[in-house]
Structure 1
Amino acid sequence: AAPTTECYETATFNNDTCIWDVTGTQAAAPATECWETATFNTESCTWDVTGDQATEPTTECYETATFNNDTCIWDVTGEQSAAPTTECYETATFNNDTCSWDVTGDQSAAPTTECYETATFNNDTCSWDVTGEQSAAPATECYETATFNDDTCIWEVTGTQEAAPTTECYETATFNNDTCEWEVTGTQQSEP
């Protein structure tokens, strides 16, 4: 009887040797990717290749996924850029659409200051520090008034002492700073 043969073999009876000659070679297994398996199908007499490459992973905008045929896995490379240096009143938020950092926030406006004050922004407290003091009002006489001038940033003293009154030869006029008036003293001698 003819010998049992594989699907790719043929048995031919050799009348010279009086035996069955079996010829035919199985096709070489096909080249496969690392995730594939080749199995010989004796019914179809072909190699069946099965297996699917793993789905590419979801990546961030700054990452790249590359399939590694040696390890048979996806290698994800790339790093998010460092957040930028911000001022105390700013916030840095990573924008996945533009793949960059968005910096938002505005420094508060400098406060209104008097002419003798200076406003300096303090990065530690994130607020404006106002320094400076108005100079003390000058000492004035009772008839004077001191008014601070915001344009010149100095005190202006106004007021004039009233003129001494006319006195008789025997009288003396003295200005009284408590009452802010001239006091006239002296009496005419009795007529001799």
Structure 2
Amino acid sequence: MRSKQRVADHGEVFTPPELVEAMIDLVGSELGRSDSRFLEPACGSGNFLGPVLQRKLGTIDARYSRSDFERRHHALLALMSIYGIELLADNIAECRTNLLEIFAVHLAVEDGDEWHLAAHQVLSVNIVHGDALTMTTAGHRPVPISFAEWSYLGRGRYHRRDFRLDTMTQLSTTGEDTLFAGMQNQDMFTPTRDHGSLTVDDIARGDDT
């Protein structure tokens, strides 16, 4: 708890690390895939998303130990698969910083490296300053929250499509309960933008924004 006032104003409380780990254990099978997606609608400073990313990176290391090329690209895909929404601006900044540090330390990359820059760009898109209840961004002029659907095409290339969160939530009425599930089979779920094929360098330079 940061302060009693923040608890009163925003209901902000932090889950103890041991409880976080126990809850993540319940979805442990999903952590075996670099592209399995996790959305935390009140992500705070990343108390859940950080451990999720760490476990996914550990799995990737074991699976791609013979190819540093694939290990790095799947590590970025693992980061791309993590999404968060947070109402408080200081928490958003801390969450992005924490996740970026986990990624950077794991790949041994420093600020200015293209992998570091690409991860920074991904987090600026995936970790959103907004209100999960209204599904709009925070600020004086709220707009509908959009999330990027990232996929790995192989050979160092990714594909990004953007979808509005309020549209994606309609999937729950179709029996699908996972983020971006069934998009390819439903014409009503069309992306607001298709960024096409992207390299790490494209993402790092912000060519997809």
Taking structure 2 as the reference length, the TM-score comes to 0.15
Between structures 1 and 2, the one with greater strand share: 1
Relative CO higher for 1 or 2, CA cutoff 8 Å, sep ≥ 6?
A: 2
TM-score with structure 1 length normalisation? Answer: 0.16
